[in-house]
Amino acid sequence: MKKKGITALSVALALSLALPAGATAFASEPTALTAADVLAAAEEVYDAFIVGYAEHSAQGDYSMEWSDATFRLGSLALSEAAKRTDIFEDVFDCAYRRGYRLNGGEATSYLEALGYSSVYAEIYEKVGNTAMLDGIRVQLDHNLDRGFLEYSRVDRLWYVGDACILLSAADSDPAYAQLDFVSYSLARTRLFDFGEGLWYRDTRYVYDGTNPRGQSFDGKKIFFSRSNAMAYASLARRLAALGEGDEGYATYCYDFLAMSASLKERQREDGFWNADLGESVHYRGPESTGTAGFLYGISAGIALGILDRESYFPVAEKAYRALLSARTEDGAIGYCLPATEVDARHYAENEVRDRTNEFGTGMFLLGACAFAELI
Digit-coded pLDDT (tens) for 147-161: 999 999 999 999 999
Mean pLDDT rounded to a whole number for the chain: 88
pLDDT of 343 reads 55
pLDDT of residue 350: 61
Which helix (H) or strand (E) segment holds residue 203: the answer is: none
Residue 164 covered by a domain: yes
Does the residue 45 lie in any domain? yes
Read off the pTM.
Answer: 0.89
Residue 329 lies in a domain: yes
Distance between CA atoms of 103 and 283, rounded to whole angstroms? Answer: 35
* HSE-CB for 202 with a 13 A CA cutoff: 11
| pLDDT tier for residue 20 given thresholds of 50, 70 and 90 | very low
77 pLDDT band, cuts 50/70/90, is very high
Q: Looking at residue 220, which CATH number applies to its domain?
A: 1.50.10.10
Look at residue 62 in the predicted model and tell me its pLDDT. 44
Q: Looking at residues 18-35, what average pLDDT do you find?
A: 54
User: Does residue 120 lie in a domain region?
Assistant: yes
Domain limits for position 35:
8-372
Q: Is residue 1, in this structure, part of any structural domain at all? A: no
Model pLDDT for residues 101-148, shown as the tens digit of each residue: 999 999 999 999 999 999 999 999 999 989 999 999 999 999 999 999
Cα 274 to Cα 344: distance, rounded to the nearest angstrom? 9
Distance CA 288, CA 272 (A): 7
d(C-alpha 75, C-alpha 84), whole Å: 9
Asked, for residue 346, whether it belongs to a domain, the answer is yes
Measured at the alpha carbon of residue 159, what is the angle toward residues 332 and 43, in degrees to the nearest 5? 25
Please count the structural domains in the chain.
1
Mean pLDDT of 229-233: 98
Q: Are 232 and 253 in contact (CB under 8 A)?
A: no
Query: Within a domain: residue 224?
Result: yes
Q: Is the pLDDT of residue 57 over 70?
A: no
- Over 50: is that where the pLDDT of 368 sits? yes
Which band of pLDDT confidence, cut at 50, 70 and 90, is reported for residue 216? confident
Residue 285's pLDDT is what? 74
In terms of Cα–Cα distance, which of 117, 116, 285, 261 is closest to 195? 261
- Evaluate if residue 342 carries a pLDDT over 50: yes
